[in-house]
Amino acid sequence: MIALDIASLKAGYDNGTLTPQAVLEEIYARIAERGERPVWISLVPKETALAKLAAAPKGSLWGIPFAVKDNIDVAGMPTTAGCPDFAYKATRSATVVELLEAQGAILVGKTNLDQFATGLVGVRSPYGICSSVFSVDHVSGGSSSGSGVAVAAGLVSFSLGTDTAGSGRVPAAFNNIVGLKPSKGLISNRGLVPACRSLDCISIFAGTCADALAVLAVAGSYDAEDGFSRAAPAAAVATAWPKGFRFGVPKGELEFFGDTQARDLYLAAVERLQGLGGTKVDIDFTAFAQCAQLLYSGPWVAERLAAIQDFAREKPGSIHEVVRGIIVGADTISAVSAFDGFYKLADLTRAAEAQWAKMDVMLLPTTGTTYRIDEVLADPVKLNSNLGTYTNFVNLMDLCGTAIPAGFRDNGLPFGVTLLGRAFQDGAVASLADRLHRSLDDATIGGTGQRLEQTLEIQIKPQPNRALVAVVGAHLAGQPLHGQLQDRNARLVGTTRTAPGYSFYALDTQPAKPGLVYDGQGVGGIEVEIYELDFEAFGSFVALIPPPLGIGSLKLADGSWVQGFTCEAHAVKGARDITAFGGWRAYLAKG
């Protein structure tokens, strides 16, 4: 069976053991064996896909098969948004599809969804009900149901979903895959049938965080044709995390709706993140929880009506009963109510700032539980709402997130967690999520059986035309002067040690700082963090450094050289030699 992760396909293409044609042939055979419905609403004919492959540019995604949710336009194909009477034939592809195809990615088809992207369950579609790849009786998650299942079932390498309330994360949790919900505006929404235009994000499903981030690197591009597009060229860049990074966990008992095994798996994820060097911080989740309630009880429901108001008024009977009940009823929401909602959101977002000051990233269950399809059909609104407990606030508060698998219950159903960060920290959050995902024992991808350890992890690489600087003391993450790096958007590339021969001293300064001197005496090396800055930021950073410290060339343990903190030799006379501690943090902890 051909493994569809991007790195494996690229390696096969490069060494000649695979061809994109053979991959497409196998994919279409898998789809034929499984059947088109309910995963697919429309397929690209195999002959057309092969013809597109023959003409495809040999870019970074050449020969990589993908799918898109059927509220995203593809030229020449119908866009249904899960509603046959709403369907139209697109004359131009969405910007994100154009970008992916310009790098050689090959579209296989358009996938099923909760109608008009309204729902987290995947049961609100006339094209059939998708189920989890692990149980025909349990929901797949929505609204991006088909996109999640297409990846989990090994039918494509990656897929595009959308995420307004959690639709790019819940299907990932229920199908043992990765769901990357980017910062708002990072991926253009031109060519997307909106749910809530001010909140919508086109999202990415993949088997690994590395694949999701590779797709984001292509898809995340400023688009002048989208009024909500935002430029953030470095957002998708992978970032290392320092020791002691702070991750927020809501204090008190979280709501798992009686699913004790989900609770246990979440607590295990907390322990694993601590094992990766993280410091757990208890946070007050109140503002986030109250914000989550705004999405469907506040004026943003009216934005869903604004997206399809003419169709909803002319053909209300064509809309799924549950979706109609949510959207059409929004006609009574007044402009006054809308402004009240905006004010409430601003107050809650401000309140949340106090919690973000305590943490670098937040770790949450993606959902508190999962449900059988018959349960959701019997109680469609309440159970759907339960699934949004830890997802609904994210876009309202302008956060980014990566959802990853976090183990299985005894009944074989998967559970997932999500790491959340501030806007445009997408690459950093995905990098940490990759480490947390890979800390799972015997992790596999979706329902394919492919082992995660056989795939490529996210690579932290220096970017071109940027300066590197090694810090050893008060500028380390969590130390008093680290803000000088943060203010300059410095990116952590990695943590390492100097080569032997450096001695390390505790200086008498405020704040406390060490002095690093090369004298050929020290053994074992001194711990350093390597940061990357643009040249202007590097210059302004160096200008802040007072004597006796300065920036000079440091030799690292691997033999390479980098600019870093050094100290004038006269300043260490009489200072305490702390070389034996091997680093500033160890000295502060034990010295």
Amino acid (1-letter code) at residue 518: Y
Q: Tokens standing for 347?
A: 């107050």
Q: Which residues pair with 234 in a beta bridge?
A: none
In the set 8, 167, 188, 503, the catalytic residue is 167
- The amino acid occupying position 244 is G
Catalytic residue among 8, 10, 69, 157: 69
Contact by Cβ (8 Å): 561, 555: yes
The answer to whether the CB of 538 falls within 8 A of the CB of 475 is no
Please state, as a whole number, how many other Cβ atoms lie within 10 Å of the Cβ of residue 54: 9
- Catalytically annotated residue among 8, 93, 132, 143: 143
- Select from 90, 79, 95 the least CA-distant residue to 42: 79
- Report the residue count for the chain: 591
Question: Can you list the pairs that 258-263 forms with residues at least 24 positions away whose Cβ atoms lie under 8 Å?
Answer: 258/369, 259/368, 259/369, 259/370, 259/409, 261/409, 261/410, 261/415, 262/365, 262/367, 262/368, 262/369, 262/370, 262/409, 262/415
Instruction: Show the tokens assigned to 300.
Output: 């943003």
Q: Residues 481, 474: contact at Cβ < 8 Å?
A: yes
CA distances from 563 to 243, 287, 461, 487 (A): 21, 43, 17, 19
Amino acid at 47: E
233 vs 483: CA distance, rounded Å: 22
Tokens representing residue 1 in the block: 């069976």
Sign of the dihedral through C-alpha 395, 397, 399, 404: negative
CA–CA dist 205, 158 (Å, integer): 6
Q: Is 69 annotated as catalytic? A: yes
Q: What residues are annotated to the active site?
A: 69, 143, 167
